[in-house]
A and B are shown apart, each in its own frame.
Chain A
Amino acid sequence: MKPTRYLSLAALLGTALPAAAQVTLNGAGATFPNIIYSDWMLTYNQSHPDVKLNYQSIGSGGGIRQFSDGTVDFGATDAPMSDSAITAIQGNVLHIPMVLGAVVAAYTLPEVSQPIRISPDVLADIFLGKVTKWNDARLASINPGVTLPNQDIIVVHRSDGSGTSFVWTDYLSKVSPEWAQKVGKGTSVSWPVGLGGRGNEGVAATVRQTPGAIGYIELGYALINKMPFAVLKNQSGNWITASLESVTAAAAGAMKEMGPNTDFRVSITNSPGARAYPAASFTWLLVHKSYSDTAKARSLVQFIWWAESEGQAKAPELGYAPLPQQLRPWIQAHLKSVTAGGRAVL
C-alpha cells in the first residue's frame, strides 16, 4: 500500500473510535519509582484504554514544583513537601505512599568478604569525618572475626539534590544529635567530608573505583550491581541486612506511631519494628484534595486505587518493597476524600 492509503486508513480508524471519555493524566517527579510507575501505567492502560497516563521522571524537586504550579495533574516525590510549600498551595495536596525504597551504605574493601556491620553512632561518625580508618577500634569491636584493613575511609555522597540524600541524612539526624545539629537533613546538605558523585550511578562508580570508599545508594541499585553493603543496627538493636522484606517491615513498624489519621508525610527511618531496616522511606504520589475536572480526578484516583491493590504484586520483581497490607485501608480512606467540584469522586 502507498503511504497515503495508510494515512487515510488511520484517519478512518481515528474517527471511528469513540470520541468521548478519553482522559489523559500527566505527572512528573521522582526518578526512583520511575520503573514501577511506567510499568503500572502501561499495564493499567491495557485494561483501561480510555485512560492515558504520562509520567516524566524529572526529580522530586521538579515534581513538587510542577505539581504546585499546576502544570501536571499529579506529582511524585521521595521527600515530602515542607509545611511552607503546602501552605503556598493552600494545603491542596495529599501525599499517597506508593511503594517503599531503602538506602544502603555500599563500600569497596577487596580484602573483606563478609558483610561489615556498622552501628548508627559509628555510621554517623564516619560521615562526620570522625572515624577515618577501616580498622578503627569501634568498627573492629562490632565486627568480631573480620580482619579490617588499615585503610582510609573515603566517604562518597550525592552531589545532586536527591531524595536518596534526604532519606540518608534523615536517618543520620535521628541517630546522631551531632549530625542533626551540624548538618541536618535535606535533599542537599553541606557534607562535612567526602567526594560528591552525580546520581546513584556516579556514587556507585566512585565507590567501586576507590578502595576504602563508602557511599550511600538506593538498595535496588546496589542489588543490580552486586555491590556489598553494610549491615545496619536498627532501633530494636537487631542487625538487619537491607532487603525488600526488611524494608516493608520498616513501614509496618512505623504504623503505630503514624496512626490512621496521618497525612503520610512521615519518615520511617529508624523504625521501631524488630525486623525493620532503618534507612527506609516511602515514595509518594502528590494529588490534589480537590480537582476541577471530575473525569480526570476520578480516573486518577481509580488508577491509584488499582496500584495500591493489584499493582503492589508487581513491586518485588521490579526491585521495590511493597507497602504493608495493613496500611491499605488508611490509604483508601485518603483516596476517598478526593473531591471534584465539591463532590467525592469515588
Chain B
Amino acid sequence: MTSPLLGRDRSDRIYRQVLTGFALALPLLIVIILGVLFTNAWPAVKRFGASFLVTSTWDPVSEVYGAAPMIFGTLASSLLALLIAVPLALSVAIFLTEFAPRRLRQPVAFLVELLAAIPSVVYGMWGIFVLIPFLRSYVVPPLKAVFGWTPFLQGVFYGNSLLAGGVILAIMIVPYIAAVSREVLLAVPTSQREAALAMGATRWEAVRSAVLPYGRAGLIGAIILGLGRALGETMAVTMVIGNRHDISVSLLQPAYTMAAAIANEFSEATTATYQSALMEVGLILFVLTVAVNAIARILIWRVARGAAVGSRAL
C-alpha cells in the first residue's frame, strides 16, 4: 500500500526539482549576461569614468569615447515612437473592442498583428525607399510651415533623421501595444460598460470613464512592452536614423542609438579599448531596459492596488 505512494512522492520530487532548475536557469542567465557585460566593459569604465556618459566624442582613431549621443538618441527615438504609437494603438484597440462591426474585428486585428511579423530589415528598406521620400515631400514641409519656429524642427531635412527613426519605431511597436491592449479591453467585464450606459453615458463616455480605468494596469503594461521593444530595436532604426554621433533636439537631424552603434561597430572593433567601450554601451542599454521594466512594474502595482482599493470602496 505504501510503495506506490512513495513512488509518486519521489516522482513529484524529481518533477519539482527539474522545474526549479529550469526556472532558476533564466534568472541565472541574466546574471551571467550582466557579469560578462560588466567584466568586459570594466576597462572602459575605468578609463573614461563618468565622462563616458556625458561627452559626445566617438573617435576610434584617437580612442576617445563618449556615449551621450547614443543614450540621447535611444531615449529620444523611443519617446517619439511612443508619442506616435500609443494614441494609434489605443485607438485601434478601442475601435476593435467597442465600435467595430463584428465581422470586421478579426480581420483587422489579424492585419494589425501581421505588422509584428515583418522582419525589421524589411521595415528598414521600406523606410529608406518609401517612408523617407514621403516624409520629405508631404510631412516635413507642412510641419515646418506651422512649427518651424520650435527648436524641434531646425535645420535642413535630408531624410535619415531622428524623425524617420521614431516613425519607423512607432509603426513597429503599434501591433504589440494594440494586441495587448485589445486583450486587456476584451477582459473588461461587460457589466462595466452596461453600468455606464445605464447611467446615460454615451459610448465614448462609457469607454473613457468605465472601460479604460478598469484596464489601466494592463494598458500601461502594453505600452511598456512597446517601449522595451523600441529601446532595443536595431536594424530598422540604423537604416533610417542617420547614424551620427551628435546630440540635436531637432527631429530633422540625424542621430544614433545604442543598439545600432553596437550592431554597426562591434564586428570591426579591433582594439581592446574600442571593444570595451561598445561593451559599456551594451551595459548601459541593459541597465536602461531593466530600469524601464522596473518602473513599469512599480507603476502597474500601484495602479492595480489603487483599483483594488477603489473597488473595495464600492
Residues of A within 8 A of B (CB): 58-62, 64-65, 82, 85, 152, 154, 159-162, 183-191, 194-198, 202, 205-206, 209-210, 213
Contact = CB atoms under 8 A, between A and B. Distances in A.
A162 B158 CA distance: 24
Interface in B48-71: 57-62
Nearest to B274: A188
A162 B269 CA distance: 10
A168 to B, nearest CB: 13
A96 to B, nearest CB: 20
Given A154-B158, A202-B239, A209-B129, A190 B268 contact: no
A161 B159 contact: no
A65 B59 CA distance: 21
A61 B158 contact: no
B61 A61 contact: no
A76 to B, nearest CB: 14
A65 B264 contact: no
B270 A196 contact: no
Contacts of B160: 195, 197, 206, 210
B193 interface: no
A59 B265 CA distance: 11
Instruction: Please list the 4 inter-chain residue pairs (A to B) with the smallest Cβ-Cβ separation, ordered nearest first.
Output: A161-B268, A196-B243, A159-B243, A61-B268
Nearest to A154: B158
Contacts of A159: 238, 243, 260, 264-265
A186 B267 contact: no
Interface string B127-138: 011001100000
Interface of A is mostly: loop
B216 interface: no
B309 to A, nearest CB: 51
A178 B139 CA distance: 39
Contact of A58 (B125, B256, B267): B267
Contacts of A197: 160, 239, 243
B159 A189 contact: no
Contacts of A64: 270
20 contacts: A60-B268, A61-B270, A85-B270, A159-B264, A161-B265, A161-B267, A161-B268, A184-B61, A186-B60, A187-B60, A187-B270, A190-B59, A191-B244, A194-B244, A195-B159, A196-B242, A196-B243, A197-B239, A198-B243, A213-B158
Contact of A190 (B61, B125, B133, B256): B61
Given A161-B264, A197-B239, A209-B159, 16 more contacts: A58-B267, A62-B267, A82-B270, A159-B243, A159-B264, A161-B265, A187-B270, A188-B60, A190-B58, A190-B59, A190-B245, A195-B159, A195-B242, A196-B244, A198-B264, A206-B160
Contacts of A65: 270
A198 B58 CA distance: 17
A190 B158 contact: no
Interface string B84-108: 0000000000000000000000000
A196 B254 contact: yes
Contacts of B158: 154, 195, 210, 213
A197 B62 CA distance: 22
B131 to A, nearest CB: 10
A198 B239 contact: yes
B263 to A, nearest CB: 8
B130 to A, nearest CB: 10
Contacts of A210: 158-160
Contacts of A161: 60, 264-265, 267-270
B159 to A, nearest CB: 5
A68 B42 CA distance: 23
A191 B59 CA distance: 8
Contacts of A213: 158
A209 B268 contact: no
B172 to A, nearest CB: 17
Contacts of B156: 152
A210 B160 CA distance: 9
Contacts of A186: 60-61
Contacts of A190: 57-61, 245
Contact of A185 (B61, B245, B254, B274): B61
A130 to B, nearest CB: 17
Contact of B265 (A60, A85, A160): A160
Given A159-B264, A198-B243, A61 B128 contact: no
Contacts of A154: 158
Given A85-B270, A159-B243, A189-B59, A205 B264 contact: no
B85 to A, nearest CB: 24
A277 to B, nearest CB: 25
Given A195-B254, A209-B129, A61 B60 contact: no
Contacts of B243: 159, 195-198
Contacts of B264: 159-161, 196, 198
A62 B244 contact: no
Contact of A189 (B61, B133, B238): B61
A65 B266 CA distance: 12
Which of A159, A183, A190, A194 has the most chain B CB atoms inside 10 A of its CB? A159
Contacts of A152: 156
Interface string B142-156: 000000000000001
Contact of B267 (A160, A184, A191, A196): A160
A82 B61 CA distance: 12
Contacts of A162: 268
A161 B266 CA distance: 8
A7 to B, nearest CB: 35
Contacts of B268: 59-62, 160-162, 187-188
A187 B60 CA distance: 9
B61 A183 contact: yes
A61 B267 contact: yes
Contacts of B256: 196
Which of A58, A85, A154, A188 has the most chain B CB atoms inside 10 A of its CB? A188
